[in-house]
Amino acid sequence: MGIVDRVKNILLSPKTEWPVIAEETSSTGSLMSGYVAPLAGISVLCGFIGSSVVGMSLPFVGTFRTPIVAGIGVAVFSFVMAFVGIFIMSLIINALAGTFGGEKNSAQAMKVAVYSYTPAWIAGVLGIIPALGLIGVLISLYGLYLLYLGLPRLMKNPPEKSIGYTVVVVICAIVIGIVISLLAGGITALTGGSAMMGAMHGGAGSGVTFDKDSPMGKLEGFGKQMEEVGKKMEAAQKSGDPNAQMQAAMSGLGTMLGGGKRFEPLGLEQLKALVPESFAGLPRTGQSAKKGGPGGLSMSTAEAQYEDGAGKRVELEVTDTGGAGGLLGLAGWMGVESEKESNGRIERTRREGGRMVHEEISKDGRNEFSVVLGERFVVSAKGRGVPFEALKSAVGSLDLGALESMKDSGAKQ
């Protein structure tokens, strides 16, 4: 079947198209070269034209365009990651099949992953006009429905378990998407910086190096780790051993989530010890803790509520992001900062004393202060009727140093 007909059928009549797909014998190579490459390529090309040629019009600023060199770097990276993302997602779908009463079948799982991504690639065409980006996001969400319909037909799980199966797969897809987006942002900075350095030092290959502790140095080191993961995945693919492929994929996912590191989250008793009996001048009225999550997403959290019965209330949360801490690290490496103000509310994300903090200050008395420690732990306090400075001071009174000193605790190979 031609690619145009397949796209039309999977989008307009998925209920009848999935059974047809289930009976087809399609190799991974043919799917990647005959379907993923053309659609992902068109999507990436449109995104490049939109960001680097058309540009985005900003109020009081004018039209902003991504530098051509940086745009090309992001385009190439995005195209490559389309294949990596599909491959990892297919392995996740296959690995979870038994959990939801289905049958493991790597070929069928690959087809589910590939065709469920169709709306996202088609929506990517709208990237040629950046202002239509939100519409593209909405179109991409149709892929969730395609996934929901495709799983029971190809992986043969009971229909009543499709919702749970879909949700878990989607969580993994979201995490992969976030990591890819963060890395793409780093590639923009890296390629933009390389262009300037090349101009000053005679072009690429001039021996430019980065301090290993600098944002560029850390990103460079992370890139080398991912290269090693890529080699392992390639070797596993060539071996034809499904178990080896799964282990390589999970290792790659863990590396992405952890920014090159993997951790077992702290035990609940360790976190509960950090939650005081009184906070911001209020007595503790409730407490809970939990630990869990699939594979590399395992986290642990201790929560507590404080109130005085006169309208003042604070919710304190201490979280160990465990194996997913790399997301925080990547955000820190790339200097993620933002500030906005609207309807009497101010939101800021910035670096303070080497730590990333998030602040929300509102005239209605609903305030929030969060701090990231060791690119792994998050301490967050949300208050009602408690001044922002009192909330921030209360967080500062906790033994943050002790928690930060445990940033390497539970490290895994």
Last residue of a domain, one of 208, 239, 257: 208
Within this chain, do residues 276 and 193 fall inside the same structural domain, yes or no?
no
Give residue-wise pLDDT tens across range 4-42: 888 888 888 889 999 999 999 888 778 888 888 888 888
Task: Domain of residue 112: give its range.
Answer: 3-208
Coil, strand or helix at 276 = coil
The Cα 168–Cα 144 span in angstroms is: 11
Please check whether residue 226 lies inside any domain of the structure. Answer: no
pTM over 0.75: no
Within this chain, do residues 194 and 277 fall inside the same structural domain, yes or no?
no
Please check whether residue 255 lies inside any domain of the structure. Answer: no
Does residue 251 surpass a pLDDT of 80? no
Tokens at residue 404, please?
């930060």
Confidence of residue 66 (pLDDT cuts 50, 70, 90): low
Give residue-wise pLDDT tens across range 93-133: 888 888 888 999 989 999 999 999 888 888 777 665 555 55
Packing angle of the helix pair 142-154, 162-201 (nearest 10 deg): 120
Tokens at residue 122, please?
């088609």
Cross-strand bridge partners of residue 204: none
Give residue-wise pLDDT tens across range 137-178: 666 678 888 888 999 999 999 988 888 888 888 777 676 666
Does residue 334 surpass a pLDDT of 50? no
Confidence of residue 234 (pLDDT cuts 50, 70, 90): low
Please check whether residue 300 lies inside any domain of the structure. Answer: yes
Within this chain, do residues 276 and 365 fall inside the same structural domain, yes or no?
yes
pLDDT the model gives residue 18: 94
Cross-strand bridge partners of residue 295: none
Within this chain, do residues 279 and 171 fall inside the same structural domain, yes or no?
no
Please check whether residue 246 lies inside any domain of the structure. Answer: no
Last residue of a domain, one of 164, 192, 208: 208
Is residue 374 left, alpha or beta, with left meaning phi > 0 and alpha meaning psi from -120 to 50?
A: left
Number of domains in the chain: 2
Coil, strand or helix at 398 = coil
Please check whether residue 321 lies inside any domain of the structure. Answer: yes
Please check whether residue 403 lies inside any domain of the structure. Answer: yes
Within this chain, do residues 10 and 107 fall inside the same structural domain, yes or no?
yes
**Percent of the chain, pLDDT > 70?**
62
The Cα 193–Cα 351 span in angstroms is: 22
Minimal CA–CA distance to 27: which of 198, 275, 323, 240?
240
Packing angle of the helix pair 215-239, 242-258 (nearest 10 deg): 170
Coil, strand or helix at 167 = helix
Please check whether residue 274 lies inside any domain of the structure. Answer: yes
The Cα 321–Cα 373 span in angstroms is: 11
